[in-house]
A and B are shown apart, each in its own frame.
Chain A
């Protein structure tokens, strides 16, 4: 990306980050409070059944919620960014991916902060600090790649199909239950359900984070590289698709 556009990505990300929750009393604290409060509700409800045999269930739940909330918020916001910023989409000579990337980066600041707070919570609840936690930045990179390619597909699709935002909200709810956020994969007895979880990219990333924070196991390098290649290829395909659609955005938005 050219230097002027790197500058623009930074400004767009900053502007979107700065205005979010600006008028609320707790401001940006909400970005962490949201998954934390949701975690508290789920903890109270599932502690005695789905989470009965899960060690450090609160941190287990919190990591799942942080990954899911970031994925859900980032992709939902990025999906609408070309439509919400219709004036820019129609009138500005700039590569439109700048708006999508800026939007994802703006929502990812809170993801990074939440992960740090989660590590602090983990230590506070008796989980010992391990070297494996140093692998978290790599997991954050994988999550960003994942969110980015999904955002490119959604944002370009949203310009042409207005119903997508409604359909996506339903899909996100489905994803919440199809991802081991409040339950461990072993809790699923149906082999087909276990296979579905196995091929769920979000479940894979959550699993890596839990291994690193709760179990103190760093992921093998080959696992990281395989996931990085898969998401990088998906990002390349999604980006090519986005650029192919780009000349029509100004007409349809």
Chain B
């Protein structure tokens, strides 16, 4: 990723579209823009596991979406090699009215897992998610935690080169997190490349040797996780102190 900047039109999209069209005719009509990312330079090598940290609105999700090809950078270039999967919230695309089994096939297909593979692994997927007896239940009858387990259980079957995780593991109890840890360790053993946006610093410390810190779309630091996290915490301590004294 070289010198990547991303601007989004502010205001409603309809309004923005009109102004984007009119903006071509006159600068007076050009839409107001806000900068989601500014001059980001990032090189991630094969098998690297990099965390993206920062406050809400700092550009973490935008960074992942640009790497995933869902957004085009306004300027700069992005190059990736290999297949990639973006997990932005577990269970996105599952359908409430369908059964758990149907959702396994649907969600798996969204992540390019063949029906044949899923058919062979469906018992194991349900067992891992502790949902064996819910196979024919409607998805809407499951709790949030159960859905998260189901979705993550399916994503374990994904075979890809690059994993992009955007706050994918915010739900779930301690037991689930421990099971997920094992899965991520397995990814690391296999040499998968991972870019993980997260507020969970324990998770980041356990799984990501490198971290990039974004603040208002700008790259503050990129380096060893312990060093960047310490710098980020120090930044927050100072900010809290400033708020306290005010």
Contacts and interface: CB of A to CB of B under 8 A. Distances in A.
Interface of A: 3-4, 7-8, 10-12, 14-15, 18-19, 22, 85, 87-88, 90-94, 160-163, 247-248, 250-253
Contacts of B65: 250
Contacts of A12: 106, 109
A18 B70 contact: no
Given A247-B71, A250-B70, A93 B86 contact: yes
Contacts of B106: 11-12, 14-15
A107 B32 CA distance: 41
Nearest to A4: B112
B93 A160 contact: no
Nearest to A249: B70
Interface stretch (B97-105, B175-183, B197-205): B97-105
Given A11-B109, A92-B110, A250-B65, A160 B98 contact: no
Nearest to A87: B92
Contact of A18 (B85, B97, B166): B97
Contacts of A94: 110
A85 B93 contact: yes
Contacts of B70: 90-91, 93, 247, 250
B109 to A, nearest CB: 4
A96 to B, nearest CB: 10
Contacts of A87: 89, 92-93
Given A4-B114, A11-B110, A253-B13, 13 more contacts: A3-B114, A7-B114, A87-B89, A88-B92, A90-B88, A91-B88, A92-B92, A92-B110, A93-B86, A94-B110, A250-B65, A250-B70, A252-B16
B72 interface: yes
Interface string B60-72: 0000010011111
A128 B72 CA distance: 59
Q: Considering residues B110, B113, B115, B166, which has the most beta carbons from chain A within 10 angstroms of its beta carbon?
A: B110
Is chain A's interface secondary structure helix, strand, loop, or mixed overall?
helix
Q: Closest 6 interchain pairs by CB?
A: A4-B112, A91-B88, A11-B109, A19-B97, A8-B109, A250-B70
A93 B105 contact: no
Interface bracket on B: 20 to 34
Contacts, number: 80
Contacts of B84: 93
A93 B98 contact: no
Contacts of A85: 93
Interface of B: 8, 13-14, 16-17, 65, 68-72, 84-86, 88-89, 92-93, 95, 97-98, 102, 105-106, 109-110, 112-115, 166
B8 A7 contact: no
Contacts of A14: 102, 106
Contacts of B88: 90-91
A66 to B, nearest CB: 26
A24 to B, nearest CB: 12
A252 B109 contact: no
Nearest to B112: A4
B127 to A, nearest CB: 22
A176 B85 CA distance: 44
Nearest to A16: B95
Nearest to A159: B13
B133 to A, nearest CB: 22
B157 to A, nearest CB: 13
A253 B13 CA distance: 8
A11 to B, nearest CB: 4
A93 B84 CA distance: 8
A250 B68 CA distance: 11
A7 B115 contact: yes
A3 B115 CA distance: 11
B115 to A, nearest CB: 6
Nearest to A7: B109
Nearest to A9: B109
Nearest to A23: B97
A93 B8 contact: no
Contacts of A15: 95, 98, 102, 106
B71 A251 contact: yes
